[in-house]
């Protein structure tokens, strides 16, 4: 229960900061000021928006399927929030450390598709239904390349445990039971004679241990934008065509829940990208001869230093990816439906299949 409350409070804080950051980033890119009145530099604008939404009237359309309409936002957020249960925030802090965390995550976040359909159908509105159908088609399609990119990491790391994958990408590798036999080789090529297990830092991240995972990371990141309905893949919420998409009939608290679910999904996919590809909670600083930067900036397992350093590096990398998502939204125009499906099925999926094949060959050669 405590882990649940801490995770929820952390998520709410990140979402409020992210909503404020998006307004400021958009304003900067469009040569505007953004929020300025509420608090210093408009920093309280997002908090006041939440309070405003909570005070608004909860309107349920007379012709709507009231049960589906009311349940949909809760199901969508619950599916996304449940994914945070297997995210390792530090070497010691993980809400639910299960050995099949990757499999659990892929399964549980797929439930939000059901919630989206419920929201569109329950609204009894043609714009909401079209938005829901678009969203489901998009999410189901882009789960394929995203899943294949994740599979390539699982094949190389030989684990479905997020925490174990995290330990493999840093200097704490040999302190994790059962992994003492593993070694990190720079670029994955043992013939180079550079064993980076004790060097740590960026040299032990998955995208450097096996460079083909850099391509997998790009595929996953693009697919994660579509999974989150973020521009240029925000076709389900195309305001020029569908007013607001599947949530067009929602207001007040229920709209706030949908808004929270969308930003929570952004945070979740960014956390997963960091854990699988970018070293998780491990430091990017390597050990250099007498300068043991990796050891100094990793901390000690079981102590406060490990929790603070691990949380700092994980959230720092996550915010970098979130900032990149914000920049992309205000840089690229929205794709057409045919362009979106072409990119998924004729570009990302074939490339992801090749990466999975190469990951299997890579693993066989490195044993």
Condensed to tens digits (0 to 9), the pLDDT of residues 55-83 reads 998 889 998 999 999 999 999 999 999 99
- Report how far apart, in Å, the C-alpha atoms of 26 and of each of 33, 330, 339 are: 9, 6, 25
Say what the pLDDT of residue 239 is: 65
pLDDT range class, residue 241, cuts 50, 70, 90: low
Residue 24, pLDDT above cutoff 50 = yes
Q: Closest Cα to residue 322, out of 82, 21, 1?
A: 21
- DSSP H or E run through 291: strand 291-292
pLDDT range class, residue 319, cuts 50, 70, 90: very high
- Which one is predicted more confidently, 236 or 18? 18
Interatomic CA distance for residues 294 and 82, integer angstroms = 32
Interatomic CA distance for residues 37 and 209, integer angstroms = 48
Annotated domain spans of the chain: 1-55, 64-366
Mean pLDDT along residues 41-64: 90
Kindly report the backbone phi and psi dihedral angles of residue 292, in degrees, each rounded to the nearest multiple of 5, phi listed first: -85, 65
Interatomic CA distance for residues 271 and 162, integer angstroms = 11
Residue 186, pLDDT above cutoff 60 = no
SS3 288: strand
Give the tens place of pLDDT for each residue, 135-183. Answer: 899 999 999 999 999 999 999 999 999 999 999 888 876 443 333 334 4
Which of 212-226, 233-247, 288-302: highest mean pLDDT?
A: 212-226
* CB 261, CB 77: distance < 8 Å: yes
Q: Output the six-digit token pair for 38.
A: 């509420």
How buried is residue 240: exposed, middle or buried, by Cβ count under 10 Å (0-12/13-18/19+)? exposed
Mean pLDDT along residues 337-355: 95
Mean pLDDT along residues 207-236: 91
Mean pLDDT along residues 99-109: 93
* CB 294, CB 302: distance < 8 Å: no
- Which one is predicted more confidently, 335 or 271? 271
Residue 238, pLDDT above cutoff 90 = no
Say what the pLDDT of residue 304 is: 78
Tell me the sheet residues that pair with 291. 288
- Which one is predicted more confidently, 323 or 290? 323
User: Across all residues in the chain, what is the average pLDDT?
Assistant: 87
Mean pLDDT along residues 258-279: 95
Say what the pLDDT of residue 272 is: 97
Interatomic CA distance for residues 63 and 320, integer angstroms = 44
Say what the pLDDT of residue 120 is: 92
* CB 105, CB 272: distance < 8 Å: yes
Say what the pLDDT of residue 364 is: 87
Kindly report the backbone phi and psi dihedral angles of residue 287, in degrees, each rounded to the nearest multiple of 5, phi listed first: -80, 125
pTM (global) more than 0.85: yes
* Strand pairing category for 287-288 and 291-292: antiparallel
Tell me the sheet residues that pair with 77. none
Interatomic CA distance for residues 90 and 219, integer angstroms = 26
Residue 130, pLDDT above cutoff 90 = no
Q: Output the six-digit token pair for 164.
A: 């174990």
Interatomic CA distance for residues 129 and 85, integer angstroms = 31
Say what the pLDDT of residue 173 is: 60
Residue 200, pLDDT above cutoff 90 = no
How many CB atoms lie under 10 A from the CB of residue 291?
A: 11
Q: pLDDT > 90: what percent of the chain? A: 56
Q: Closest Cα to residue 115, out of 229, 15, 234, 272?
A: 229
Kindly report the backbone phi and psi dihedral angles of residue 199, in degrees, each rounded to the nearest multiple of 5, phi listed first: -80, -45
Say what the pLDDT of residue 277 is: 96
Say what the pLDDT of residue 182 is: 45
Mean pLDDT along residues 176-195: 44
| Residue showing tokens 């010691």 | 92
How many CB atoms lie under 10 A from the CB of residue 326?
A: 21
């Amino acid at each position: 229960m405590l882990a649940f409350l801490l995770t929820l409070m952390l998520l709410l804080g990140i979402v409020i900061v992210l909503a404020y950051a998006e307004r400021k980033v958009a304003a900067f890119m469009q040569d505007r000021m953004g929020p300025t009145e509420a608090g210093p530099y408009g920093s309280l604008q997002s908090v006041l928006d939440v309070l405003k939404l909570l005070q608004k009237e909860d309107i349920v359309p007379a012709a709507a399927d009231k049960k589906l309409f009311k349940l949909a936002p809760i199901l969508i957020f619950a599916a996304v929030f449940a994914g945070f249960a297997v995210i390792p925030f530090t070497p010691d802090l993980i809400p639910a450390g299960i050995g099949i965390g990757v499999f659990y995550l892929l399964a549980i976040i797929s439930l939000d598709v059901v919630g989206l359909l419920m929201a569109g159908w329950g609204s009894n509105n043609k714009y909401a239904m079209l938005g829901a159908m678009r969203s489901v088609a998009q999410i189901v399609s882009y789960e394929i390349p995203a899943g294949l990119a994740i599979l390539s990491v699982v094949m190389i790391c030989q684990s479905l445990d997020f925490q174990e994958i995290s330990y493999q990408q840093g200097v704490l590798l040999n302190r994790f039971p059962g992994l003492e036999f593993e070694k990190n080789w720079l670029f994955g090529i043992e013939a180079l004679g550079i064993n980076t297990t004790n060097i740590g830092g960026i040299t032990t991240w998955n995208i450097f241990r096996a460079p083909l995972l850099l391509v997998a990371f790009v595929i996953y990141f693009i697919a994660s934008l579509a999974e989150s309905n973020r521009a240029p893949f925000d076709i389900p919420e195309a305001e020029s065509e569908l007013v607001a998409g599947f949530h067009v009939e929602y207001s007040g608290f229920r709209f706030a829940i949908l808004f929270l679910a969308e930003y929570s999904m952004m945070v979740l996919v960014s956390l997963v990208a960091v854990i699988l590809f970018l070293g998780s909670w491990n430091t990017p600083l390597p050990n250099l001869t007498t300068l043991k930067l990796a050891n100094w900036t990793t901390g000690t397992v079981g102590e406060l230093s490990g929790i603070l350093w691990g949380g700092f590096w994980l959230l720092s990398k996550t915010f970098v990816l979130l900032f990149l998502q914000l920049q992309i939204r205000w840089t690229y125009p929205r794709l057409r439906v045919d362009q979106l499906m072409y990119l998924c099925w004729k570009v990302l999926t074939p490339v992801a299949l090749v990466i999975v094949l190469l990951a299997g060959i890579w693993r066989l050669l490195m044993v």
